[in-house]
Amino acid sequence: MENYDVIIIGSGLGGLECGVILGREGYKVLILEKNKQVGGNLQIFSRDKRIFDTGVHYVGGLNPGQNLHTYFSYFGIMDDLKLHQMSKEAFDIVSFENDPIEYPYGQGYDQYIEGLVKLFPEERAGIEKFCDKVREVCQAFPLYQLQVDDNPVGYKDVLNLNAADFIDSCTENEKLRKVLGGTNPLFAGIGSKTPFYILALVTNSYIESAWKFVDGGGQIAKLLVREIRKVGGEIKKHADVVKIEFEDKRAKSVVTKSGDRYYGDMIISNVHPAYTVKMIEPGILKRAFTKRVSQMENTSSVFILYLVLKEDSMPFINSNYYHYINDDVWGGVDYDEETWPPSYAVFSGVSSKTKQYCDTMIVMAYMKMEEVEEWDSTFNTVSEGDDRGERYEEFKKVKAEKLLDAMEGKFPGIRDRIESYYTSTPLTYRDYINTPGGSMYGIMKDASDPLRSFVSPRTKVPNLLFTGQNLNMHGVLGVTIGAVQTCSEIVGHKYLMEKILSASNVEA
């Protein structure tokens, strides 16, 4: 019977990063992954010899000295990443149907401010007020700021500020209000709920610097696996954990769907908390906690269109587009069959084979899980699953064609440039990423009741911890910070942060 110091359930980014951190500290680590491919949202796939990302379309903070660059340097992967910097004038573009103007987000606060002031010359004060608040809020998060702080959770005073409300306080210009909130699909924003700190942390990261991964973000997972194996860590795929076993109120082992049992002194779950508590027998955790976690509202899901473009048919687009057919930028999740899609986001892939042309595009539009509830009882991944049948394939085709029709308004002639296309639905996210309702970003944060959606890395079980996108913030940076927070509970916050800063030659 082999015993591990730490067993990590799930090989998403947070799980892999915890594996590197703890492996380097001398812990014997085992990571268990239910799928064929490690990485969670870092997974990539190939169609018609083109590479597509599943979840990581761009990242921020990768200039030397910036937060994600510092963390990735500590993990030993920064120098090996293949990166492409996005347009400094307009890494993101917010656009609206029947409005010929494109509203840019520039890299660097000077570029960001001047780019918008050029289009809204009377609104400099409001734009600067918005930017000042973004930077002020970011200062409240020590791990985001790479600070060695005895209290890694220092942001409680900013949790109640609503994003849409604060933007409205900056300006009375309706169009500018929409532009300032226009990239909120990055966190599935809802006007009545989304806290400003979510918008601030995400937006600031990209304004500092915005990058895409050449040939996909799967390289992050590959490099982290390399680092885990360097320190003797193990990763087992096709290992779907269904039960956490206990002895004297402490976790002692995990059991997989196939019946394998693994013993560990510490268990870290990178799986959604609602699914994690289902692995635990009643009575171990307090009923109130289990009920709260199980009933937490999750962010919306998405329909994704993966476009394989004809060779040399479309010049490379070095910006992302957030396009609104319906002007309500905070209401994208509220639609009916007639009004879908009210908006969509477009991301061009970066290929090592061509720098002048796009060879792939990914188009995302909100989709409710209820639209695919007819097939809710099915399960489908590459390694196993059901055939959902002709009705499901027809459903996806109808949605794809409707989304392409909508794209013609912004990208005339797009159909003529498409060689083939592929699709995914909320069921795809549910089955591959293991999130309730196929949620893109996990638990929904709510400014009106922030503590209800708060998930601590530490549980009432002394040797059971959480990590992943459901802690504080999603995305590559957010999950990385969450992994550091989780491992700080084991090795100590100050000790770990000093090591991270030292690895990147950043002063504490």
pLDDT in tens, 98-152: 999 999 999 999 999 999 999 999 999 999 999 999 999 999 999 999 998 766 5
109, 124, 204, 471 from 119: Cα distances, Å: 16, 10, 21, 38
Residues 168-199: tens digit of each pLDDT: 999 999 999 999 999 999 999 999 999 999 99
The number of beta carbons lying within 10 Å of the beta carbon of residue 98 is: 7
CA-nearest of 272, 270, 280, 265 to 235 is 270
Say yes or no to pLDDT of 85 above 60.
yes
Whether residue 73 contacts residue 480, with contact meaning beta carbons closer than 8 Å, is answered with no
Residue 153: pLDDT band (50, 70, 90) is low
Residue 506: pLDDT band (50, 70, 90) is low
Tell me what the mean pLDDT of segment 69-87 comes to.
Answer: 97
Say yes or no to pLDDT of 451 above 90.
no
Say yes or no to pLDDT of 378 above 70.
yes
pTM score: 0.96
Say yes or no to pLDDT of 167 above 90.
yes
Residue 12 phi, psi dihedral angles, 5° rounding? -65, 180
Q: Which residue is listed with tokens 């959606």?
A: 453
Measure the CA–CA gap between 25 and 398, rounded to whole angstroms: 52
Tell me what the mean pLDDT of segment 36-54 comes to.
Answer: 93
- Kindly give the residue spans of alpha helices, DSSP state H, lying in 82-195: 109-119, 124-138, 163-170, 174-180
Domain residue ranges in the chain: 3-82+215-297+444-503
Tell me what the mean pLDDT of segment 58-81 comes to.
Answer: 97
Question: 3-82+215-297+444-503 adopts what CATH topology?
Answer: FAD/NAD(P)-binding domain (3.50.50)
Please give the torsion angle defined by the CA atoms of residues 355, 360, 363 and 364, in that order, rounded to the nearest 10 degrees.
-90
Say yes or no to pLDDT of 344 above 80.
yes
Say yes or no to pLDDT of 158 above 90.
no
Q: Considering the chain, what percentage of its residues have pLDDT values greater than 70?
A: 98
Does the CA dihedral 382-387-388-394 come out positive or negative? positive
CA-nearest of 62, 50, 114 to 86 is 62
Measure the CA–CA gap between 213 and 211, rounded to whole angstroms: 7
Q: Quote the pLDDT of residue 151.
A: 61
